[in-house]
Chains A and B, each alone.
Chain A
Amino acid sequence: HAEPLKYKSKKKADKNDQEKQYVGFATLPNQVHRKSVKKGFDFTLMVAGESGLGKSTLVNSLFLTDLYKDRKLLNAEERINQTVEIIKHTVDIEEKGVKLKLTIVDTPGFGDAVNNAECWKPITDYIDQQFEQYFRDESGLNRKNIQDNRVHCCLYFIPPFGHGLRPVDVEFMKALHEKVNVVPLISKADCLTPSEVKKLKDRVREEIDKFGIKIYQFPDCDSDEDEEFKQQDKELKESTPFAVIGSNTVVEAKGQRVRGRLYPWGIVEVENQSHCDFVKLRNMLIRTHMHDLKDVTCDVHYENYRAQCIQQMTSKLTQDSRIESPIPILPLPTPDAETEKLIKMKDQEVGFLKD
């Protein structure tokens, strides 16, 4: 699987002649590292898509834990007029001393009703509300304990049963692409053969371009990275949207216990790269690009929201209290030609008198 992004820094120089030239600020990355570990991290992930596409299973597979204990699934009749809810699950997880506060934002009910007009509205409202909350906190006087609840990434699940994007998929992604990093996934990919997967991916990529949807773009890697890394990066970019399979169960395959799905005709291994792109997704989302997702949210989406918000505020105010020009134009009579001549003459006289 892909290597975690290496951060380049040499170890502190040994005590030799180098020591003399060595000032020591090359330890800055270490200092930053230390502080960040101590502070801990947080990440908010949103999953969206129709019911039954494997969202919860995928989340469990990604984070190797069970977030969805005791949840209730609705019947079809209960779903006819279902409204979209927003449910947050927050968990604290730790690995090798690194603490992560993970928030998963679920959107049950999306796309499930018969009439799904504007079913993404609750979702966009939620995202906007988080932005607004953050904006308010950031502009307040006491900024010591701001909680960052902004959504850093949205995984959108495309059903594999069709021929590409459906209208509701397009509308949803278009409604969200300027508010959050959208990562489209082809879900339940174990119903597609490799060639079908390829075809579907190409189709989806084409349609994304056609409809002008701006999904999350991986940043280009530096030119001084080694070839292997660059190759991996290229492969990653070319296999979007990822075709994923999730599983809550562990099965035995080839003498090993792996996460997978047991079928009469074989075992689908979630972490097998030739079976699906789960590993790529996990690496991208967690091991290499988690921080970049956060950065793009802060620096791009949030800043856009903030700029818009401020401009709206100011334009609203100027519209309300627009006053007329304060300097009144007094109706001065325009003098006729004769009077003007007279005035001119007299002016000259006066001028001469003055001199």
Chain B
Amino acid sequence: MAATDVDRFSSEEKRNLNLGGHVGFDSLPDQLVSKSVTQGFCFNILCVGETGIGKSTLMNTLFNTTFENEEASHYQNGVYLRPRTYDLKESNVHLKLTIVDTVGFGDQINKEESYKPIVDYIDTQFESYLQEELKIKRSLFNYHDTRIHVCLYFIAPTGHSLKSLDLVTMKKLDSKVNIIPIIAKADTISKSELHKFKIKIMSELVSNGVQIYQFPTDDEAVTEINASMNALLPFAVVGSIEEVKVGNKLVRARQYPWGVVQVENESHCDFVKLREMLIRVNMEDLREQTHARHYELYRRCKLEEMGFKDTDPDSQPFSLQETYEAKRKEFLGDLQRKEEEMRQMFVNKVKETEAELKEKERELHEKFEQLKRMHQEEKKKVDEKRHDLEEEMHAFNRRKVAAESLQAQSLQASAQLPLKKDKDKKNRSVNTENQSGVTLSNSKVMIAKASVEPLNCDSWWQAIQCCTCLVKNAAWREGFF
């Protein structure tokens, strides 16, 4: 079977042929258009300008509808962008129009960061498109394109020159979006002033290298008109949605005591020119430029940032595959290293913690032992004390019994017979009353006790102490001591 490589595909030189008749592919543009009409079009406008300069009014005037809008305040903390999408229809052409407003532009005292939200917004839209393009399963034909196709930059009608903020902002935007500068509220400038103003603005832009959008002059159908319009930039516009009766017609205009400024009168302002250029002639070209130039530039920068190159050091074209693989290997290598590190750290940590825990365990054991010992010692002491106490009690009891038997003996001495029965030492109780109910005197009781139980004392003091319990009379007791 045939081996297949590119070299085997032979091809003739391209050549022009004459057709012998009507083939019919001249309907191709119609086929394309029919498809686009079914799909619908979409267009995104960014309006940059100070608060109150007439952005919303101009949009209303351009598209002949009132887009809902409240007046913006001058006291925003920063610039933020507010996109709003509308579905418009004319004849049978559907247009998904998105108008992005810069709220708060030019109001802050320090305007150095004012351009940033705008640039970020534009980049974000490019980024979403890029993400969609890089997806594995993508549906670009269905995708709602939010990239900004044109930026209308509103210049305040000072009559002298651009403001510094204008220059700085336009410089930052010119490589990201098609800029069309317009002079807003142009009904405050007279014709001669306007001419000078326009020249001054254009020369400032040129000398600072700001690239504004040029209407394309390469298509014969529109070369003439575009070229003439290019010379009239920036357009001086007046916007109004109010209508005033002029002659016998109602026209959009602004009524002043000194006259009526008609929006659609070409000698009053350039509104008609702007509408013609922006919508009726070059809308498609604006979209194409955004996609083919600005987006491609963004994409190229982004991919280069990510490390993709078109050619490797040997100037062989890199395939996306190889680059991707290389990046992937690098990334995985990094990942592996990080994992190793983490694993090491983890292992170390575990060891440490284990050691700590062991240490703690040991300490606890020790403490426990210590406490146990203390506890035991105390217990011993308490036991000893108890033992002592018990012994004392025993001793005390014995003496008590002795005293009782002594008493009993003394009783016996006075009444021998009955007492003899009480010689049982165990059952003795010192009874100061004999059986006949005669109360014995103390001394007799003492003598009785003494005869029953010999005192177990070493000294007379102790002896006295043993007998004191027998001494009823408290005064006597006290007297002894």
With contact pairs A88-B9, A98-B28 given, residues A118 and B95 touching in the complex (Cβ less than 8 Å): no
List A76-100 residues whose CB lies under 8 Å from chain B: 83-93, 95-98, 100
Q: Is there a chain B Cβ closer than 8 Å to A231's Cβ? A: no
With contact pairs A84-B2, A311-B136 given, residues A92 and B17 touching in the complex (Cβ less than 8 Å): yes
Q: Is there a chain A Cβ closer than 8 Å to B437's Cβ? A: no
* Across-interface contacts of B37 in A (CB, < 8 A): 7-9, 29
Please give the distance in Å from A222's CB to the nearest CB on chain B: 7
Determine which residue in A27, A38, A350 has the highest number of CB atoms from chain B within 10 A of its CB, and name it.
Answer: A27
A25 touches B279 (CB 8 A): yes
Bound complex: CA A90 to CA B153 (Å): 47
A317 touches B325 (CB 8 A): yes
Please give the distance in Å from B151's CB to the nearest CB on chain A: 18
Please give the distance in Å from A246's CB to the nearest CB on chain B: 14
A-B contact count (CB 8 A): 257
Bound complex: CA A290 to CA B350 (Å): 69
B9 touches A24 (CB 8 A): no
* Across-interface contacts of A36 in B (CB, < 8 A): 28-29, 32-33
Please give the distance in Å from A60's CB to the nearest CB on chain B: 9
- Of the residues A41, A64, A67, A136, contact of B23 by C-beta under 8 Å: A64
Which residue in chain B gives the minimum CB-CB distance to A291? B31
Which residue in chain A gives the minimum CB-CB distance to B138? A303
> Which of B339-347, B384-392, B403-411 has 4 or more CB atoms under 8 Å from chain A?
B339-347
A29 touches B36 (CB 8 A): yes
Bound complex: CA A83 to CA B29 (Å): 39
* Across-interface contacts of A23 in B (CB, < 8 A): 62-64, 88, 90, 275, 279
- Of the residues B30, B137, B284, contact of A6 by C-beta under 8 Å: B30
* Across-interface contacts of B36 in A (CB, < 8 A): 28-29, 32
With contact pairs A10-B91, A95-B25, A327-B346 given, residues A29 and B33 touching in the complex (Cβ less than 8 Å): yes
B1 touches A121 (CB 8 A): yes
Q: Is there a chain B Cβ closer than 8 Å to A334's Cβ? A: no
Q: Is there a chain A Cβ closer than 8 Å to B436's Cβ? A: no
Which residue in chain B gives the minimum CB-CB distance to A7? B34
- Of the residues B29, B276, B296, contact of A144 by C-beta under 8 Å: B296
A33 touches B19 (CB 8 A): no
Bound complex: CA A23 to CA B279 (Å): 8
A65 touches B300 (CB 8 A): no
* Across-interface contacts of B144 in A (CB, < 8 A): none
* Across-interface contacts of A88 in B (CB, < 8 A): 9-12
List A132-149 residues whose CB lies under 8 Å from chain B: 135-136, 139-144
Determine which residue in B36, B280, B328, B329 has the highest number of CB atoms from chain A within 10 A of its CB, and name it.
Answer: B280
Q: Is there a chain A Cβ closer than 8 Å to B24's Cβ? A: yes
A129 touches B30 (CB 8 A): no
- Of the residues A26, A101, A140, A326, contact of B320 by C-beta under 8 Å: A140
Q: Is there a chain B Cβ closer than 8 Å to A254's Cβ? A: no
Q: Is there a chain A Cβ closer than 8 Å to B247's Cβ? A: no
Which residue in chain A gives the minimum CB-CB distance to B332? A321
Q: Is there a chain B Cβ closer than 8 Å to A21's Cβ? A: yes
Which residue in chain B gives the minimum CB-CB distance to A31? B284
> Which of B70-78, B167-175, B302-310, B460-468 has 4 or more CB atoms under 8 Å from chain A?
B302-310
Which residue in chain B gives the minimum CB-CB distance to A222? B38
Please give the distance in Å from A315's CB to the nearest CB on chain B: 12
With contact pairs A31-B284, A313-B324, A346-B364 given, residues A5 and B319 touching in the complex (Cβ less than 8 Å): no
Bound complex: CA A24 to CA B95 (Å): 11
Bound complex: CA A92 to CA B276 (Å): 35
* Across-interface contacts of A288 in B (CB, < 8 A): 27, 31
- Of the residues A4, A97, A109, contact of B30 by C-beta under 8 Å: A4
Bound complex: CA A92 to CA B309 (Å): 34
Which A residues are within 8 Å of any B CB, using their own CB? 4-10, 20-29, 31-38, 41, 43, 62-67, 83-93, 95-98, 100-101, 109, 117-119, 121-122, 125-126, 129, 135-136, 139-144, 222, 282-283, 286-292, 295, 299, 303, 306-307, 310-311, 313, 317, 321, 323, 326-328, 330, 346, 349-350
**CB pairs A–B below 8 angstroms (10 shown):** A25-B93, A25-B283, A27-B281, A34-B284, A36-B32, A92-B17, A100-B28, A140-B320, A141-B303, A310-B136
Which B residues are within 8 Å of any A CB, using their own CB? 1-2, 4, 6, 8-12, 14-38, 41, 43, 62-64, 88, 90-93, 95, 136-139, 141, 218-219, 221-222, 275-276, 279-285, 288, 292, 296, 299-300, 303-304, 308-310, 317, 319-321, 324-325, 328-329, 332, 336, 339-340, 342-343, 346-347, 350, 364, 368
Given pairs A21-B64, A303-B138, A326-B342, 17 additional interface contacts (CB within 8 A): A25-B283, A38-B219, A91-B15, A91-B16, A95-B22, A135-B320, A139-B320, A141-B304, A283-B24, A287-B24, A289-B31, A292-B31, A295-B141, A313-B324, A321-B332, A326-B343, A346-B368
By Cβ-Cβ distance, the 8 closest A-B pairs, closest first, are A83-B2, A31-B284, A88-B11, A326-B339, A4-B27, A291-B31, A7-B34, A24-B280
